[in-house]
Amino acid sequence: MSARIRPIAETDIDGVLAIERASFPTPWSRGMFLDEMLQGVCRAWFVADSPWGILGYAGLMEVEEEGHLLNLAVRTDARRSGIAAALLAEILTEAQRRGLERVTLEVRPSNFAALAMYDAAGFEVAGSRPGYYSDTGEAATIMWTGRIDKDPLRSLIAALHARGAAALEAFTIDRGTAAPPTDRSSELILAIETSCDETAAAVLRGGTEVLSSVVASQIDFHARFGGVVPEIASRKHVEAITDVVDEALDAAGITLRDLTALAVTYGPGLVGALVVGVSYAKGLALATGLPLVGVNHLEGHLFANLLADPEAQAPFVALLVSGGHTSLVHAPVWGEYHVMGSTLDDAAGEAFDKVAKALGLGYPGGPVISRLAAEGDPAAIPFPRAMINTADLDFSLSGLKTAVVTYIAAERRAGRDLNLPDIAASFQAAVIDVQVSKALRAVAETGVGTFLIGGGVSANPALRAALTAALESRGVHVSVPPLSLCTDNAAMIAAAAHFRFGRGETLGPSAEAVPDLTLQS
Ligand code: KG4
Ligand code: ZN
């Protein structure tokens, strides 16, 4: 048999999540699926499994005498092959096994394919639930079956079951790209990144060889406002994206026809900025017929390590430090991430940016502070090291920022000249001390032998040196990406896409940007 229906297992979650994200505008998170699996006897979840990975899934919730179809989705490249019918047959049969009287469901009135399928399976429209779908405000059409233990439903379900079994038997994917690839060394991926203030595109061969990486920074347009202005970011992405993509293809010496897949960052980031990349990539996918891989920007920062250092392998702990994030992440394997701790207030990059602003040094603050710090005395001013001794792995940076701002104001009031290098060095040392201390704790707790850093702040030379010294003296391999891969770029997005594509994870035409996407979802 080519495909089969079986009860869901925890190891299916990645495949299920990828289908969920490609199928629904407001997808369920990993946590929601894991919760479902803990619900026990009142739930039944099934997946359609195949040599090409998970093809679809469906869930049934038992409420008194009724069964409620929670979710049913099929991977984009397996649609129209009878997999949905097979899953629906399994759900209805499960309801019969449980002695339930009927099955109900909600469906979008605009989803004609689903309406037709449910109609053919004996469901009838029972009413409508206004405003049910939060993204469009659309009403849900409520459907239900008659008594599933009696004819005509019983015969209908038996027929559906037979049809589903035949579809599973005959199932095959003959598009070479979707089958588990054997030799991936010549795969060419074009990735697009527009999550913040850099419009970037890159071409990667075989997952590790960067053929081109083009980054058009908008920093100059934002600098005069002291930070990223979302409306400007979206407009500049729209203006730049076509040229940036063309340049990446040209520099790699290839055309769209040579590509194996497209990839795009779909979160986290500024919604208006992400949408530009996601829409552009979806359009390109539609026009070329190429599969499109969705990438989590934060996972991209982790994969940046692998591009330069083949030893950047799981299990590892990573410090992700950027303008929007500060967290310690444990990865037992690539693709599985546990956030061990994060900032309770400001991100590390944000602290650099705010301190630079207070000193009148412009935006972004990281590079200028680190240049000044190189000439200052890190012990000149004893700024606070918040939470350095707490047993957790969280950070708090807003107190440090306030301490620096207060110090600057006091010095000015006293009529003293500011010693910028000393302030920069002392501030930076306070940030680094806490990060090193928490990094050591995270490594000790997990026992890993590899440490990765990622995000714009990992370009900071003093942070890189301090982490490397502290961890390598304990026998931990530290991977520090080259500077060009620390700040936002599309090469890292292509590297993460190579990994996700290998698992058959692609986005469908209805996929959308997810501004608050987390590493764990
Ligand atoms: O990863 P990234 O390019 O964009 C986000 O995803 O946020 O990170 C940008 C952040 C900014 O806050 C910038 O000030 C900081 O990275 N940054 C630095 C350095 N270079 C950039 N922070 C400290 N030292 C640096 N050398
Ligand atoms: Zn970033």
Which of 194, 487, 492, 493 should be mutated for ligand 1, with most atoms under 8 A from CB?
Answer: 487
Q: Is the CB of 349 under 6 A from ligand 1?
A: yes
Question: Of 127-141, 295-309, 448-462, which gets the smallest average pLDDT?
Answer: 127-141
- Reference 93, options 83, 103, 79, 104; nearest CA is 103
Pairing of strands 102-107, 66-74: parallel
Token digits for 272? 């208006």
Helix/strand/coil for 374: coil
For residue 193, the CA-to-ligand 2 centroid distance in Å is 10
Whole-angstrom Cα distance, residue 341 to residue 141?
42
Q: Is the CB of 370 under 6 A from ligand 1?
A: yes
Q: Which ligand is nearest to the CA of 324?
A: 1
Helix/strand/coil for 465: helix
Neighbours of 110 (CB within 10 A): 11
The pLDDT value recorded for residue 173 is 73
The pLDDT value recorded for residue 231 is 77
Whole-angstrom Cα distance, residue 92 to residue 62?
12
State how far the alpha carbon of 245 is from the alpha carbons of 109, 151, 194, 315, 496, in Å.
Answer: 37, 59, 12, 34, 18
Question: Of 70-79, 402-411, 449-458, which gets the smallest average pLDDT?
Answer: 70-79
Whole-angstrom Cα distance, residue 189 to residue 204?
5
Q: Is the CB of 267 under 6 A from ligand 1?
A: no
Q: Is the CB of 268 under 6 A from ligand 1?
A: no
- Reference 153, options 127, 116, 124, 179; nearest CA is 124
The structure's pTM equals 0.68
Instruction: Compute the C-alpha angle 477/481/485, nearest 5°.
Output: 160
Q: Quick one: which atom of ligand 1 is closest to the CA of 322?
A: 8
Q: Is the CB of 481 under 6 A from ligand 1?
A: no
Instruction: Give me the count of residues in the chain.
Output: 521
Q: Which ligand is nearest to the CA of 297?
A: 2
Neighbours of 124 (CB within 10 A): 11
- Residue 159, pLDDT > 90, answer no
User: Cis peptide before 7, with omega less than 30 degrees from 0?
Assistant: no
pLDDT bin (cut points 50, 70, 90) of residue 177 is very low
User: Cis peptide before 315, with omega less than 30 degrees from 0?
Assistant: yes
Q: Which ligand is nearest to the CA of 493?
A: 2
- Residue 405, pLDDT > 60, answer yes
The pLDDT value recorded for residue 80 is 79
Which of 296, 322, 353, 464 should be mutated for ligand 1, with most atoms under 8 A from CB?
Answer: 322
The pLDDT value recorded for residue 521 is 58
Whole-angstrom Cα distance, residue 132 to residue 110?
13
Q: Is the CB of 487 under 6 A from ligand 1?
A: yes
Q: Which residues contact 475 (CB under 8 A, 6 or more apart)?
A: 449
Report phi then psi at 324, rounded to 5. Answer: -120, -10
- Reference 519, options 445, 455, 461; nearest CA is 455
Q: Which ligand is nearest to the CA of 490?
A: 2
Question: Of 17-26, 267-276, 445-454, which gets the smallest average pLDDT?
Answer: 17-26
User: Cis peptide before 367, with omega less than 30 degrees from 0?
Assistant: no
Mean pLDDT, range 466-493, rounded to an integer: 95
Report phi then psi at 237, rounded to 5. Answer: -60, -45
Whole-angstrom Cα distance, residue 392 to residue 441?
9
Whole-angstrom Cα distance, residue 264 to residue 60?
33
Mean pLDDT, range 342-371, rounded to an integer: 94
Instruction: Compute the C-alpha angle 149/150/151, nearest 5°.
Output: 135
Question: Of 137-141, 178-182, 498-502, which gets the smallest average pLDDT?
Answer: 178-182
The pLDDT value recorded for residue 100 is 95
The pLDDT value recorded for residue 182 is 63
Which of 198, 218, 342, 457 should be mutated for ligand 1, with most atoms under 8 A from CB?
Answer: 457
The pLDDT value recorded for residue 292 is 94
| Protein residues with C-beta less than 5 angstroms from the ion ligand 2 | 322, 488
pLDDT bin (cut points 50, 70, 90) of residue 36 is confident
Q: When comparing pLDDT for 156 and 225, which is higher?
A: 156
DSSP assignment letter at 10: G
Q: Quick one: which atom of ligand 1 is closest to the CA of 454?
A: 1
Q: Is the CB of 346 under 6 A from ligand 1?
A: no
Q: Is the CB of 454 under 6 A from ligand 1?
A: no
For residue 219, the CA-to-ligand 1 centroid distance in Å is 12
Q: Which ligand is nearest to the CA of 486?
A: 1
Pairing of strands 292-296, 209-217: unpaired
201 bridge partner residues: 192, 214
